[in-house]
Structure 1
Amino acid sequence: MITAARVKLYPNEGPKILLEKHFGSCRFVYNHFLAKRDEYYITHKNNEKSSLNYFDTANMLIELKKEKPWLYEINSQSLQMSLRFLDNAFRNFFHKNAEHPKFRIKGRNEYFAVPQHIKIQGNRIYFPKFSEGIYFMGSKEKLSEIKDINQIIITKDSGYYYCSIIYENEEELPEKKPLSEDNSVGIDLGIEKFATLSNGIAIENPGFIKKVEKRIKRLQKQLSKKENGSKNRRKHILKLQKEYMKLRNMREDFDDKISTAIAKRYNTIVIEDLNVHGMMQNHHISKSLNDVSFYSFKQKLLYKSDKYGKNMIEIGRFDPSSKICPSCGNIKHDLKLSDRIYHCNVCGLTIDRDHNASKNIRKIGLIKVGLVRSELTPVEIATSGLYGIYPYRQRSLRWKEAPML
């Protein structure tokens, strides 16, 4: 199993300067060949070979290093890995999985990769051009015992240096536990409450942005008064970056703890697919949506469910989880987003809107995997509007008699 460990690096002054050179050179190579590939496509788009690939740019890199001798100070494989990242970005663009690659900007998303000749001894990591090694801390695992290291990725965040060590782990993922209706839970994600479980447990939204918003606004106001290019401006940018890093760390810590607790407790977890991108277009809730980080939570929950051998089921985003009554199956078509309490006009059930949605999410997911079977006939499914979710007809439907001919 391929796994990764992230550690914090503590380089001395010499290695720190060399790390900065690696960041800048890899960024330069990435941007240079991004421009070359775009230029080549414009001039050759009607030819049989309309674009450059990794091997073309790798050959061109040899000539570029002759023109720019300072590139010889950098690990050659790290420069080649920048071309790999660029080629992967274009592949994702061609397959319509991402936008057109963008130029990398200094000070943002600084990184470079080292694919070979990596050695760990004690709390020092050695790789090409860093023969003295760099001291690291932050891993609970004995990294010096790792035999097969696939690659390492060095990153810089808010003035700190980190190393992600990707390696082969002899441990295998546990077998999935049997799907269970008794030990299952449905999860409804929201803004007012971060998550509501089908058993009634509600997890409040911590509202991390509110805890640091005042400090960020104050720093941004002070930054606007600093002179461009001055040392004070660079120092202030670093302070602002550290505040944003604290905000990211708080969110990641919260998502880790909640996803771990749910994955350990339940064998079958049902969650709904949310159109987060579409929801972010609403400027009234976009800030709150960004703060709760639904996508990050779902990715962590998926990873933890695999780690502990649990089952995760995802239902469709258009399944009527909020509008259905869990007691009688009535669909309340006039339910508004502002209605926080669900009141059924047929059976009189009154229930919290989020709790109602989580109960329906759980049932839809169990039907999807066959743990709960619908007793509707195909004709009843087509005419009721329930799509086989509940074993009864929708009572709120009003039928019209066909006109006499």
Structure 2
Amino acid sequence: MITAARVKLYPNEGQKILLEKHFGSCRFVYNYFLAKRDEYYITHKNAKKSSLNYLDTANMLIELKEKYPWLYEVNSQSLQMSLRFLDNAFKNFFHKNADHPRFKRKGINEYFAVPQHIKIQGNRIYFPKFSEGIYFKGSREKLSKIKDVNEIIITKDSGYYYCSIIYEIPEEFPEKKPLSSENSVGIDLGIEKFATLSNGIAIENPGFIKKIEKRIKRLQKQLSKKEKTSNNRRKHILKSQKEYMKLRNMREDFDDKISTAIAKQYDTIVIEDLNVHGMMQNHHISKSLSDVSFYYFKQKLEWKAEKYGKNMIEIGRFDPSSKICSRCGNIKHDLKLSDRIYRCDVCGLIIDRDHNASKNIRKIGLIKVGSVRSEFTPVEIATSGLYGIYPYRQRSVGEAGSSEALAEE
């Protein structure tokens, strides 16, 4: 199984200069051959060979290094990896999995890869052009067990340098536990409460953006008054980047801890598919939605479920959850978003809205995978409008009222 470990690098001044040369040279090679590939396609659109591939650009790189001798100062394999990344970007574009590759800008998403000749000794990592090694801080006990490193990727974020060490371990994911209703949980994600579990546990929204929003606003206001291309402006940009990095780290740490706790405790996890992109169009809640980062949390939860051999079930975004009573199955058509307490007019259930939804999510997910069997026949499922969730035909409040009136007549 291929995995990765990320450590923070502490290069000296000379190593910083060399790292920046690697970032700049790899970016230059990527942009240069992106333009060359586009130009070649325009001029050879109707020819038998209409586009360049990795081997073509790798051969052209030799001539480019003769034209620009400063490219010899960086690791040649890192330049070749930039061509690999460019070729993969074009393949994704041709397969309609991504947009056309874009030119890279200085200071945005800075990285380069080293595929070979990597050695880790103690608290230093050695690779070509860095024979003295770069000091790092990380889990030395974990890294000491690494025998062969497949690849490393050096990145820069808010003025700090990081190294992602990609290596292979013999362990595989454990076998998944059998699907069952026992030790299962449904999760309803929200803004007021980050997550509500079907067993009644509610996880409050930490509201990270509120904690550092004032500092970010103050820095942005100061930044707007600085002259462009000035040193003070660059300093304030770096300060703003560090605040945003702090916000991102807080979110990632929260999602990581919550997803780990859920994946360790429950064998079957049911979650709903949310239309986050569509919800972000509502400017009243878009800021709060971006702060809770539902998509990243779901990705984390899926990974942790695989890691611990647990089952992850995702129900459709249009499956009923909020408006149905979790006890009797009554549909409450007049339920508003502002109604935080669900009050059933048929069975009299009074329950928190999110808790009611999480119980329905769990029940829908278990029925979909066959862990809970519905007593509906196919005809009853088609006519009930409840998709066979409950063991008998339920009616909405309006339907119940009209039928009782007809019976009395």
Greater Cα shift, 50-59 or 271-280: 50-59
1:398 to partner: Cα distance: 4.5
Does 1:351 find its partner at 2:351? yes
Contact kept, 8 Å, 1:119 with 1:125, in 2: the verdict is yes
Counterpart for residue 40 of structure 1: 40
Structure 2 residue aligned with 1:319: 319
Cross-structure match for 1:20: 20
In the alignment, is residue 6 of structure 1 matched against residue 6 of structure 2?
A: yes
Structure 1 window deviating more from structure 2 (337-346 vs 17-26): it is 337-346
Task: Quote the residue 1:129 is aligned against.
Answer: 129
Residue 257 (structure 1) aligns with = 257
Matched ranges for 1:122-201 at <5 A = 122-201=122-201
Amino acid at match of 1:352: D
Larger mean CA deviation between 179-188 and 337-346 belongs to: 337-346
Structure 1 contact 346–395 (Cα < 8 Å) conserved: no
The one-letter code of the counterpart of 2:3 is T
Give the deviation of 1:53 after TM superposition: 2.2
The alpha-carbon distance between structure 1 residues 390 and 97, as it changes in their structure 2 partners (threshold 3 A), is farther
Q: CA deviation at 1:140?
A: 4.9
Please say if 1:50 is aligned against 2:58. no
Q: Provide the rounded CA distance (Å) in 2 between the counterparts of 1:273 and 1:147.
A: 40
Name the SS for the 1:132 alignment partner: strand
SS at match of 2:35: helix
Tell me if the contact between 2:223 and 2:236 (Cα under 8 Å) persists in the aligned partners.
Answer: yes
Secondary structure of 2:335's aligned partner = coil
* Alpha-carbon spacing, 1:336–1:298, altered in 2? closer, same or farther (3 Å): same
What is the deviation of 1:255?
0.7
Residue aligning to 2:211:
211
CA contact (8 A) 1:6 1:139 kept: no
Between stretches 67-76 and 90-99, larger displacement belongs to 90-99
Q: Evaluate the alpha carbon distance shift between residue 334 and residue 40 of structure 1 in structure 2; reply closer, same or farther with a 3 A threshold.
A: farther
Q: Distance in 1 between matches of 2:48 and 2:277?
A: 37
- How many residue pairs match? The answer is 401
Match of 1:294 in 2: 294
Aligned to 1:369: 369
Please give the per-residue CA displacement for 1:61-97, whole angstroms capped at 9, x wherever unaligned: 2222222111111111111111111222222223332
Unaligned runs of 5+ in 1: none
- The answer to whether the 8 Å contact 1:149/1:167 transfers is yes
In 1, Cα distance between equivalents of 2:151 and 2:329: 54
Q: Which runs of 5+ in 2 are unaligned?
A: 404-409
Listed one character per residue, the Cα deviations across residues 206-234 of structure 1 (whole Å, up to 9, x for unaligned) are 00000000000000110111111111111
Does 1:224 find its partner at 2:224?
yes
- Name the SS for the 1:17 alignment partner: helix
Deviation readout 1:180-217 (Å, 9 max, x if unpaired): 31201000111111000001111010000000000000
How far is the alpha carbon of 1:18 from its aligned partner? 0.4
Equivalent-residue separation in structure 2 for 1:56 and 1:353 (angstroms): 60
Give the distance between the partners of 1:340 and 1:90, measured in 2 at CA: 49
| Residue-by-residue CA offset, 1:35-69 (whole Å, 9 max, x unaligned) | 22223333333444333222222222222222211
- The answer to whether the 8 Å contact 2:189/2:195 transfers is yes
Shift of 1:284: 1.5
The aligned counterpart of 2:407 is none
Alpha-carbon distance in 2 for matches of 1:346, 1:142? 58
Q: Which moved more, 1:155-164 or 1:37-46?
A: 37-46
Q: Distance in 2 between matches of 1:295 and 1:172?
A: 26
The answer to which of 159-168 and 316-325 deviates more is 316-325
Matched letter for residue 287 of structure 2: K
Q: Measure the CA separation in 1 of the matches of 2:52 and 2:387.
A: 49
Deviation at 1:247, TM superposition (A): 0.4
Instruction: Give the Cα separation in 2 of the matches to 1:101 and 1:345.
Output: 56
> Is residue 123–residue 140 contact of structure 2 (8 Å, CA) maintained in 1?
no
- Deviation of 1:366 (Å): 0.7
Does the CA-based 8 Å contact 1:10-1:136 persist in structure 2? yes
Which one-letter code corresponds to 2:305 in the other structure?
Answer: S
Q: Residue 228 of structure 1: SS of its match in structure 2?
A: coil
Q: State the shift of 1:352 in Å.
A: 1.5
Match of 2:283 in 1: 283
Deviations 1:366-392 (A, max 9, x none): 112211011111111111112222222
Letter matched to residue 259 of structure 1? S
Instruction: Give distance in 1, aligned partners of 2:163 and 2:370.
Output: 44
Partner residue, 2:406: none
Whole-angstrom distance in 1 between the partners of 2:365 and 2:117: 47
The change in CA–CA distance for 1:329 and 1:170 in structure 2 (over 3 A counts) is same
Q: Deviations over 1:101-124 (max 9, x none)?
A: 222111111100001110111111
AA aligned to 2:292 is: V
1:239 deviation in Å?
A: 0.8
1-structure distance, mates of 2:93, 2:338: 39
Letter paired with 1:350 = I
More displaced 10-residue stretch of structure 1: 315-324 or 117-126:
315-324
CA contact 2:184–2:268 (8 Å) conserved in 1 = yes
Matching residue's letter, 2:65? K
Aligned counterparts of 1:371 and 1:141: Cα–Cα separation in 2: 42
Amino acid paired to 2:213: E
Q: Judging changes above 3 Å, is the alpha-carbon distance between structure 1 residues 227 and 311 closer, same or farther for their aligned structure 2 residues?
A: same
Quote the Cα distance in structure 1 between the aligned partners of 2:282 and 2:102. 26
The DSSP-based 3-state class of the residue aligned with 1:187 is: strand
Residue 338 of structure 1: CA displacement? 2.5
Q: Which is worse superposed, 209-218 or 98-107?
A: 98-107
Counting aligned pairs with the same residue, the percent is 88
What is the CA deviation profile of residues 295-320 of structure 1, one whole-angstrom value per residue up to 9, with x for unaligned ones? Answer: 11111111111222211111111111
C-alpha distance in 2 between matches for 1:36 and 1:170: 42
